Structures are given as structure tokens and as C-alpha cells.
Structure 1
Amino acid sequence: MITEEILAQEFIRVVNDYYPTLGELLAGCHVKVITCFWGRPAKRFQYIGIYCQEEMMPYIQAKKVILRELAESMGLIQVVCFNAKRLLRDPMSKLKQSEPRLWLELQLLAA
């Protein structure tokens, strides 16, 4: 089974190969494959989460159709963009405790 980290790296590689300008945009973002479970019995869904700065959000959103097509071709269901700064400032977020490495990377992105 392919891990989430390998799948995210492969997604970035495909974007860089076929859409180099979009790959340059993603270089300033953190790309992660997120797994969620829904329904009874629980069904597994995986999607791409792109954590980026607020200034980059409109550029990423403009290319979301391309990103979604690539994600679907890899068996992922969706592409979701997150504002890194907003996520870090959320008082209810448990990100620092649950995934400290991602939290540190987002701190660097948001700075």
C-alpha cells in the first residue's frame, strides 16, 4: 500500500513534470494527502490538502481544476486549499500536539 507521504511526493512530481509553472507555485506550499473515513461501514477517502500563504491562495485557486484532474487520475477525490496562517492561529486547532512537524513547516510558510 502506498503511504500518504509517497502519494503527496508523486503528486508534486506529476505537477512539476506536466505543469512547471504550477509546480513553482506549489514549491511555496506544503502538500499533504489527507485520509478521512465516512459512513457506515466506514469508507476511506483520500484527498490533497494544500497549505499555503494567503497571498498565494488566489493563484492556487485559479489552477484548482488542473489540480483536481491530476488528483482524480491518481485515485484521490478532491483538492482542498488551506490558509496556513489561519490554521495556525485557530485556538481550537490541535495541530501542534497531533502533528508537530507539520505545525513547524506551516510556521515557516506563514512567516
Structure 2
Amino acid sequence: MITEEDLAQQFTLIIEQAHPRAWTTLRHCYVKVLNSRSKGAYIAHAKYIRIYCPDRLIAAVVAEKDLLIEVAEYLGLVEVVCLNATNLLHDPKLQLKKAYPQLWLDLMWIVTQKQES
């Protein structure tokens, strides 16, 4: 059985190998595959991809969204969601550090890294 982590790795590998221009931006983001459990989901337990981007890269990732959706659909994922990791970390209502410490650490890592050329 393919796990969410396996799907995220496959997604990033396809982008890295087949779309190097998009990879130059995406490699500075945190990619996670999640199960959709919302009542309004049109496919029960469908998987979707969430891409957490530093503030400085969110526009560049959103500009590649059609390509990202194409790769996600190839892997059987139903949606691509891009989130601003910088804003999430600074939102006091979310309390990410307390509720999801590993996610908080991962997001802190991508937000504080310098982008190489």
C-alpha cells in the first residue's frame, strides 16, 4: 500500500526530474499529502497535496499550479493546495508549535532558509 509520504516523495521526484524549472522553487517548500475527510468531498477519503511555501516563494509556486495539478492528478491526487508557511507560523490563533510540533519545526526550517540561486 502506498502511503501519503510515498506519494509526496513521488510527486517531488517527478517535479525534480521532469520539470527542473518548477523544481528550483518547489525544493524550498514543504510538500505533504493528506487524506480529505471533509463531508463535502466528492470522493471519500481522497488524497490531496498541500504545499507549504515561504512568503518569498508563494507567488512563484502558485504560478506553477497548473503543472503541479497535472502531476498530482497523474498520481491520483484530487487537489493541490498552496499555503503561505510564513503567515501560518505568525498566526497566533493556530498555535502550530503546541498542536503540531513536527509540522511547526518543518515550517520553521523552510521559512528560515536562504534561497540559493
Per the TM superposition, whether the score is higher than 0.5 is yes
**1:25-65 Cα deviation digits (max 9, x unpaired):** 1110000102121339x921211111111111111111100
* Structure 1 segments unaligned to the other structure (5+ residues): none
Please give the secondary structure, in 1, of the residue aligned with 2:68: helix
- Residue 35 of structure 1 is matched in structure 2 by 35
Partner amino acid for 1:45?
A
Counterpart Cα distance in 1 of 2:52 and 2:79: 14
Whole-Å separation in 1 of the counterparts to 2:13 and 2:72 = 12
2:8, 2:36 → 1: CA distance?
A: 15
1:103 Cα offset (Å): 0.9
Structure 1 partner of 2:115 = none
Instruction: Identify unmatched segments of 5+ residues in structure 2.
Output: 113-117
Corresponding residue number in structure 1 for 2:23? 23
Percentage identity across paired residues of the two chains: 40
For 2:86 and 2:39, how far apart are their aligned partners in 1? 31
SS of residue matched to 1:44: coil
Give TM-score, length-normalised by structure 1.
0.89
Counterpart of 2:74 in structure 1 is 73
Q: Which has the higher strand share?
A: 1
Q: TM-score, normalised by structure 2?
A: 0.85
Alignment RMSD: 1.7
Q: Which residue of 1 aligns with 2:104?
A: 103
* Aligned amino acid, residue 18 of structure 1: A
